[in-house]
Amino acid sequence: MQPYVESLSTCPKHGLHNPFKSPERYLLYGDISAKAAHMLSVPKVLDFFTRLIQRVAPKSYQQALGEVQVTQKFLENFSGDQVRFLARSFAVPGNHLGQQSHGFRWPYGPVAIITPFNFPLEIPVLQLMGALYMGNKPVLKVDSKVCIVMEQMMRLLHYCGLPVEDVDFINSDGKTMNKLLLEANPRMTLFTGSSRVADKLAVDLKGRIKLEDAGFDWKILGPDVNEVDYVAWVCDQDAYACSGQKCSAQSILFMHENWSGTSLLSKMKDLAERRKLEDLTVGPVLTFTTEAIVEHMNKLLQIPGSKLLFGGKPLENHSIPSIYGALKPTAIYVPLEEMLKESNYELVTREIFGPFQIITDYKKDQLPLVLEALERMHAHLTAAVVSNDPLFLQEVIGKSVNGTTYAGLRARTTGAPQNHWFGPAGDPRGAGIGTPEAIKLVWSCHREIIYDIGPLPKHWEIPPST
Amino acid sequence: MQPYVESLSTCPKHGLHNPFKSPERYLLYGDISAKAAHMLSVPKVLDFFTRLIQRVAPKSYQQALGEVQVTQKFLENFSGDQVRFLARSFAVPGNHLGQQSHGFRWPYGPVAIITPFNFPLEIPVLQLMGALYMGNKPVLKVDSKVCIVMEQMMRLLHYCGLPVEDVDFINSDGKTMNKLLLEANPRMTLFTGSSRVADKLAVDLKGRIKLEDAGFDWKILGPDVNEVDYVAWVCDQDAYACSGQKCSAQSILFMHENWSGTSLLSKMKDLAERRKLEDLTVGPVLTFTTEAIVEHMNKLLQIPGSKLLFGGKPLENHSIPSIYGALKPTAIYVPLEEMLKESNYELVTREIFGPFQIITDYKKDQLPLVLEALERMHAHLTAAVVSNDPLFLQEVIGKSVNGTTYAGLRARTTGAPQNHWFGPAGDPRGAGIGTPEAIKLVWSCHREIIYDIGPLPKHWEIPPST
Amino acid sequence: MQPYVESLSTCPKHGLHNPFKSPERYLLYGDISAKAAHMLSVPKVLDFFTRLIQRVAPKSYQQALGEVQVTQKFLENFSGDQVRFLARSFAVPGNHLGQQSHGFRWPYGPVAIITPFNFPLEIPVLQLMGALYMGNKPVLKVDSKVCIVMEQMMRLLHYCGLPVEDVDFINSDGKTMNKLLLEANPRMTLFTGSSRVADKLAVDLKGRIKLEDAGFDWKILGPDVNEVDYVAWVCDQDAYACSGQKCSAQSILFMHENWSGTSLLSKMKDLAERRKLEDLTVGPVLTFTTEAIVEHMNKLLQIPGSKLLFGGKPLENHSIPSIYGALKPTAIYVPLEEMLKESNYELVTREIFGPFQIITDYKKDQLPLVLEALERMHAHLTAAVVSNDPLFLQEVIGKSVNGTTYAGLRARTTGAPQNHWFGPAGDPRGAGIGTPEAIKLVWSCHREIIYDIGPLPKHWEIPPST
Amino acid sequence: MQPYVESLSTCPKHGLHNPFKSPERYLLYGDISAKAAHMLSVPKVLDFFTRLIQRVAPKSYQQALGEVQVTQKFLENFSGDQVRFLARSFAVPGNHLGQQSHGFRWPYGPVAIITPFNFPLEIPVLQLMGALYMGNKPVLKVDSKVCIVMEQMMRLLHYCGLPVEDVDFINSDGKTMNKLLLEANPRMTLFTGSSRVADKLAVDLKGRIKLEDAGFDWKILGPDVNEVDYVAWVCDQDAYACSGQKCSAQSILFMHENWSGTSLLSKMKDLAERRKLEDLTVGPVLTFTTEAIVEHMNKLLQIPGSKLLFGGKPLENHSIPSIYGALKPTAIYVPLEEMLKESNYELVTREIFGPFQIITDYKKDQLPLVLEALERMHAHLTAAVVSNDPLFLQEVIGKSVNGTTYAGLRARTTGAPQNHWFGPAGDPRGAGIGTPEAIKLVWSCHREIIYDIGPLPKHWEIPPST
């Protein structure tokens, strides 16, 4: 561990570069990004990383491909001068001749990044490059089960010009990493992962963190029923793609009663049932065993009025080790009034990181109950309001707080592209990923330089003390 | 305490207003600000608050007046439509017709503000109004010794239209406040005060805080000697105004050897000695006893080569209670090489919140040692680089990290006006105060709303699962 | 005229102030604005200007009051530091150490402002102050019929601290003003008025102008019928308030066939008929005689299928001089297909600056014809799409170009508040008014300062020529 | 010509795309840019375009290469999502629930671009792509002598995905182009070229233009003498690279008297004399004959005190046709006081688009005369203030107006990279090129959409007319 501590300590608090130090490094990173973006766009490289992701993370070719493509686009976004444009400052005239105040984005210097198993390429690359763009020196830890993907990507980045001493890449268990953090004391730590670890880190690091943790992500279908096929397909993808192992996966669906008479649920059932292990459109669950999920399911089914809509059975004919879960895509109906009861609420809103969702419905005048359910949740990551009724959208958006909320007929909960903000809201520790705004927020702080060069007023004399 | 807990709990996480809820309240706060700004500009109101501050905080009329004037200008800044302009969002075209992603500034809802004794009006008003502008409901605790100032200001704000239920104002000791925070669990807490309490709160609140804590603020005089009278006067004000009880007060002065041959130190001595208790240009120290400071001074004087430059004696002929400190403005010289020694560094860079500074000097080729001294400090609030040599400025600015750094012949360490950012840098928990950027950073978070209204592509069909 | 030419010539091209010259003047203008805003908020001053406007411009008390209130809010918006915030610049790191590029907003220096009769206070104050904020020295000409209002306002501004030498106020006819412009050669001229004069000025001044000219403003009622009373009332106000003498007045209404079965038209008729001369809810038309309007009306009525819906008669029992027009609020129906004919189009879309509108309707599948009608218009100022159907809004907004377009159930064509952009689109000469964006666009230009201070690379040697 | 008129007329005023129409085209242009950037980075393509430029424009390999590289970096800058980020809008809460005002960047639709001979690739590509990015359909005319370069580039762009119908490329003389403009009536025309043509177009097109025209670019050497070799080399490059045929070329040099005692002028002479026709470090002048320049030189030499510093002779042993100029790099000294005389000023400040500069000097107290000389110039494109004295820089910058001004020891007048604004200041018709700010200013206008969707206040009733 000591080499990591020492390496991090070589980076001063003012970073490897800032607007007054080695600005040519902003250009270097523009070049690295352009080159790496081009490399990832080469079909055989694209395919290589897609398949490499599939070897370690349970997702289909298309889903893995999407991850590489988002990474590729992100790198294109910071080609050329776009890295230095991130360091854009502003200035305002001062009180007298010679005074101007300037607001800069300043690096933190030595920093740490900890990323999870479910996006082995996208999350580490986007956070790592963001940290580097702003002038930081990161130590990066990717979940050990999947870190081979990033290990290969580091080599590609080195090939594209990344100085080897700019990043420390560590493979370790969480305990070792925790110890490293306490010893090396990075100025900022970005953690993406579970709320439990997030809260522990927040305490250990005295709040010097940015977090992107869990999400019990909801979708509300509004009163205007339209395009049932489309909505069913989006629900299926939101809940079950990557076997539900996205922090943005749809955890609960609130249906307006107008949708009850439609074929929505039966279509969702059909779509869920066409998923299969062979092409990884459903696959192993890495953080829950089959038994644990089934036990959770059974508890839910004891709530009066609840019922299994589809799924609920283990996958068959597979060789998934028993430390993992293996469940058919599952949906459980729980009545809204029951869900809201003190005794049930925590149970129903427990996030299961797997192909599992709660479905409920609400009557025309029950929207306030739905909003109450949202308010009582803890993790506010993604959400969807499926409606083209502007007054309905206004009501739900204005009374909720999820960080990435999709609105409109085509609303979804998943989809974390590089072009818009993705992250939780409502928490001052919340991180974003990938966009210029997210990079500036997470990987830099404000520094104000006030120039005050004179000249002094003519005939200036020492005034009385104050 | 219970009424406070309950009152805070009435505010949902989406706040009292946001761009989709009660937007007329942005205008209400523009009106309140315009009216309150006008009230504070009325001479007798201005005088009333100035004298009220003087009754509880040890500062001269001019210093107290400055505090009211900054508050008045701040309120002018957010007159009319300027509060709603703080809620300005942005949007970017999406991937297909009907999609647009919008980035909003969202409130936290229930929040807390804790402010210290030394600026009884400016700090609470600027942070309180910032919190309210963005749609939060704050509970406000001002240091008990001085909270009468804010109590009066609350009445003025109510008179100007502030709804009484928007703010809870609490008078309590720190222990009670800590308990309140743990129970009421505000979504964000702004703390201005000591580093010790800041770190405790960071742990207690699991990092859901923004901090503006201590500053061991440095000033460097560069190689170009100019306007010695002016620089001496600024040093005197920076170190001793408000008896040094500003978090931005000059704690250490690094002089380039070119200044040694000048009358700078003797002028600083003369200026320090004209300060007197009668007009509060020097006064009681609230957080250290005289004995404690003298003891600290004596430890410093045991460092080889160190010496008392001026001051170092208790004030005379006063009735300051012995629980407070009462010291003449003091400066102690410590050689740079000694300061950097492991055994001395912590001692020399201990912040004394009183009329007390360290002075050292450096030779032409010793700038790297000065920069090392800066790097090893912990709290990076304000700083000054007194030089009009652009290459010298570049070197020092590029290799340091203080949040509010003045540069140029007229550089100072104090002065926290409403027109530019004021706050620490280098810490992800760091808060700013008063400017649009500070308000948006501290009192709101990013929320992304992605509209995706369609229409669907013609002849859309359900694609395969992924 | 000569004193005006000379006065203007005293102002250099770099203006009375800029970020590197007299920055204290930004603060001066913040103070002037705060004081003038407060003065205008004093009830008797507010009433004085409201009645003064009424003496020269034919509008009701409420309409005149609205003009003063918008002016008052505008001044609040630029209180305190907000004028200097308009001069905010940005900077980006350069290619090597010591290089940074800065983008500033720079004044034009000597400029001219020409404003029309219909808003004797709002338009001149907003444009004048915008010009001054950015550092220009304006000569101001307000239409002679109404310039007494601005003459009084100039005195109020002087009282609030405006330096008398900063503005030249001229009362003259257009011919003299034209001569002055040619002789004094201001660097920029803002003209608000007729398209005819605008085009002449554009040629005379070789394009060194910004314009806000005519608007043949349209409103479209979408397929979703709702709140008929409200929509009728908004139509009445849009078409007939200030006797239609707003550049934003509703000139044509396109009704979706779904509105035909409603009481909309009969309600509009009722509302039009309650307008009366006594309270100036209808009044004299300053730029057309009654005969001219009636002649125009008669030509329209010869179009097959066209008909008089209401009005069409001269006002009675009045003493309005015959050089002005005096007509009851009038609406004429013209079939859409007829309107689009080459022979009719120019006639139907001629802007009548009076209480006069065209009404037409369209069938479900005729939206393309409506869009064609919009595309063929010349002046693209305001517009309204009255619909809460997001796909309909998207279609109309995406295929039109008016600069200030209201969308939604409550859409209107009039209303030029201080808080959002108001101005034409689609013309590089187009001006905006009152918002920070408009002020920066109209009254300043970009200037880039690239600092490149070194140091030189070590061992730099002269390279070969290129 | 007719096909061009017709093609342009197919594009509506709302453009080929905007945020509410075909937003996928923003992505298309991000892709085209990424691909074209990659193509231009391929060595043989880079070399091809460099040599092609050299075949038609008289510049060295390095200068031609620089042009291709700037173009390549520009294209990198707008890869991925960066084109849609140009269309970023903003929004502000309205007056009541349901109201929000949005400011968009809207295209002009059909537009024209006219570019000169001296940068056959950079100027047309940067302006063309900027126009396309924002949704316009341009007709592009490049100076006939050099248009083969752009003809080849169009093929490359088509290969990279540019839809052929998006751009019309015309080869014609100026007269035909003028006729086309009058007939096709583009909504905006960007002209880069001579002031004479610019002013004619401004009148012909009634001001619907943006211009980048001449520059009589100045450089001032401040009182602090440093790095004489470096400054001499920059002067040589600024004045004579591309044989002075850059609109940013150094036209006049003002030397502080402190530089007189140095070897600066003799070094400039040496550097000028090493330029040679073989490698095109000096070459033909396309817009003046040798005789014309010599005649101009002789007039200058009749001014009392003026003298030839170096050059002044025709090039020898060449086959440059006599319709072009062929002159050795030339510098003529003119005394400052003489230059300022009414009778001499126009002569001395006449821009010669060739390897020709004026040199003068000023004494310590003559800076006001220098500033007067700057103020009286007409075209304010680039400038340089060679000084690291911040008060001197402040004085000169604050009292001048050139659009692209370099400041500091390493200041130059030439260098129009893609990363910072390049364009004139002080003229409302002034265009910029290449940066996000320039593209948005030149190729789009503001459009405000105010959503006002309701709901109506409960119990709303029709108010009285106003």
Summarize pLDDT for D13-50 with one digit per residue, the tens.
999 999 999 999 999 999 999 999 999 999 999 999 99
With beta carbons under 8 A apart, name residues in chain A contacting C97.
21-24
Q: Residue C95 and residue A24: Cβ atoms within 8 Å?
A: yes
What ipTM score was computed for the predicted complex, to two decimals? 0.97
How far is B190 from B111, CA to CA, in rounded Å? 8
pLDDT of residue B416: 82
* β-strand pairing of D99-106 with D89-93: antiparallel
Render pLDDT for D97-135 as a digit per residue (tens, 0 to 9). 999 999 999 999 999 999 999 999 999 999 999 999 999
* β-strand pairing of D89-93 with B89-93: antiparallel
Residue A15 distance to chain D (closest CA, Å)? 23
Q: Considering only CB atoms, which residues of chain C are within 8 Å of chain B? A: 30, 34, 37-38, 41, 73-77, 79-82, 84-85, 97-98, 390-391, 394, 418-419, 436, 453-455
Residue B93 distance to chain C (closest CA, Å)? 12
With beta carbons under 8 A apart, name residues in chain A contacting C388.
389-391
- Would you say A105 and A89 are in contact if contact means Cβ atoms under 8 Å apart? yes
Q: Residue A451 and residue B408: Cβ atoms within 8 Å?
A: yes
Of B408, B429, B446, the CB nearest to A208: B429
Render pLDDT for A419-447 as a digit per residue (tens, 0 to 9). 999 999 999 999 999 999 999 999 999 99
Amino acid A11 reads: C
Secondary structure E strands in A66-207: 89-93, 99-106, 110-115, 137-142, 168-170, 188-192
Q: Provide the 3-class DSSP secondary structure of residue D450.
A: strand
With beta carbons under 8 A apart, name residues in chain D contacting A418.
80-81
Q: Residue B400 and residue A209: Cβ atoms within 8 Å?
A: no
Degrees to nearest 5, angle at CA D403 with D400 and D404: 105
Instruction: Provide the percentage of residues in chain D whose pLDDT is more than 70.
Output: 100
Nearest CA in chain D to A418: D81
Residue of C212, C235, C242, C351 with catalytic role: C212
Q: Considering only CB atoms, which residues of chain B are within 8 Å of chain C? A: 30, 34, 37-38, 41, 73-77, 79-82, 84-85, 97-98, 390-391, 394, 418-419, 436, 453-455
Cα A144 to chain centroid, rounded: 19
Render pLDDT for A236-281 as a digit per residue (tens, 0 to 9). 999 999 999 999 999 999 999 999 999 999 999 999 999 999 999 9
**Average pLDDT for residues B189-193, to the nearest whole number?**
97
Degrees to nearest 5, angle at CA A424 with A418 and A430: 100
Degrees to nearest 5, angle at CA C32 with C27 and C34: 95
**Average pLDDT for residues A138-148, to the nearest whole number?**
97
Residue of A67, A76, A122, A212 with catalytic role: A212
pLDDT band at D313 (very low <50, low <70, confident <90, very high): very high
Please return the burial class of D421, using the count of CB atoms within 10 Å of its CB with bins 0-12, 13-18 and 19+: buried
pLDDT mean across residues, chain C: 97
pLDDT band at D352 (very low <50, low <70, confident <90, very high): very high
Instruction: Provide the percentage of residues in chain A whose pLDDT is more than 90.
Output: 98
pLDDT of residue C416: 82
With beta carbons under 8 A apart, name residues in chain B contacting A100.
none
Q: Residue B81 and residue C73: Cβ atoms within 8 Å?
A: yes
Output the six-digit token pair for B217.
């603020």
Of C87, C95, C391, the CB nearest to A92: C87
Chains A & B: contacts with CB separation below 8 Å: 292
With beta carbons under 8 A apart, name residues in chain B contacting D102.
91
With beta carbons under 8 A apart, name residues in chain A contacting D76.
30, 34, 79-82
Q: Report cis status (omega within 30 of 0) of the bond before B329.
A: no
pLDDT band at A108 (very low <50, low <70, confident <90, very high): very high
Instruction: Provide the percentage of residues in chain B whose pLDDT is more than 90.
Output: 98
- Would you say C123 and C247 are in contact if contact means Cβ atoms under 8 Å apart? no
Q: Looking at residue A329, what DSSP letter applies?
A: -
Residue of D122, D212, D235, D351 with catalytic role: D212
How far is D354 from B6, CA to CA, in rounded Å? 79
Residue of D11, D235, D242, D247 with catalytic role: D247
pLDDT of D214 above 90? no
**Which residues are bridge partners to B152 per DSSP?**
none
Q: Residue C99 and residue A19: Cβ atoms within 8 Å?
A: no
- Would you say D381 and D270 are in contact if contact means Cβ atoms under 8 Å apart? no
How far is D114 from D173, CA to CA, in rounded Å? 11
Nearest CA in chain A to B10: A375
The backbone torsions φ and ψ at residue B61, rounded to the nearest 5 degrees and listed phi first, read -55, -45
Q: Residue B37 and residue C37: Cβ atoms within 8 Å?
A: no
Chain C interface disruption, residue of B35, B73, B76, B437, most C CBs within 10 A: B76
pLDDT of residue A213: 87
Alpha carbon of A293 to those of A258, A409, D173: distances in Å? 31, 32, 77
pLDDT of residue A214: 80
Chains B & C: contacts with CB separation below 8 Å: 72
H-helix segments, D167-286: 174-184, 195-204, 228-240, 264-273
**Average pLDDT for residues B329-344, to the nearest whole number?**
98
pLDDT of D439 above 90? yes
Residue B104 distance to chain D (closest CA, Å)? 9
Phi-psi region of B86 (alpha: psi -120 to 50; beta: other; left: phi over 0): alpha
How far is B442 from A445, CA to CA, in rounded Å? 12
A247 catalytically annotated: yes
Q: What is the pTM of this model?
A: 0.98
Touching chains, A (3+ CB pairs < 8 A): B, C, D
pLDDT mean across residues, chain D: 97
pLDDT of residue B213: 87
With beta carbons under 8 A apart, name residues in chain A contacting D34.
37-38, 41, 76, 79
Of A106, A207, A410, the CB nearest to B202: A207
Q: Which residues contact D351 (CB under 8 A, 6 or more apart)?
A: D214, D215, D216, D251, D379
Query: For residue C186, how many other CB atoms are within 10 A of its CB?
Result: 23
* β-strand pairing of B404-407 with B89-93: unpaired
Q: Which residues contact B155 (CB under 8 A, 6 or more apart)?
A: none
With beta carbons under 8 A apart, name residues in chain D contacting A19.
none
Q: Which residues contact A278 (CB under 8 A, 6 or more apart)?
A: none
Render pLDDT for C23-73 as a digit per residue (tens, 0 to 9). 999 999 999 999 999 999 999 999 999 999 999 999 999 999 999 999 999
> Which stretches of chain C score pLDDT less than 50?
none
pLDDT of residue C392: 98
Alpha carbon of D309 to those of D230, D246, D269, D273: distances in Å? 20, 22, 8, 12
pLDDT of A67 above 90? yes
**Which residues are bridge partners to B91 per DSSP?**
B102, D89
The backbone torsions φ and ψ at residue A396, rounded to the nearest 5 degrees and listed phi first, read -75, -40
Residue C205 distance to chain D (closest CA, Å)? 8
Output the six-digit token pair for B36.
């309150």
Nearest CA in chain B to A395: B20
**Average pLDDT for residues D191-204, to the nearest whole number?**
96
Please return the burial class of B273, using the count of CB atoms within 10 Å of its CB with bins 0-12, 13-18 and 19+: middle
pLDDT of A234 above 90? yes
Residue of B122, B212, B242, B351 with catalytic role: B212
Q: Residue D455 and residue A391: Cβ atoms within 8 Å?
A: yes
Give me the torsion for CA of D423, D426, D430, D434, rounded to 10°: 30
With beta carbons under 8 A apart, name residues in chain B contacting C458.
none
pLDDT of residue D222: 98
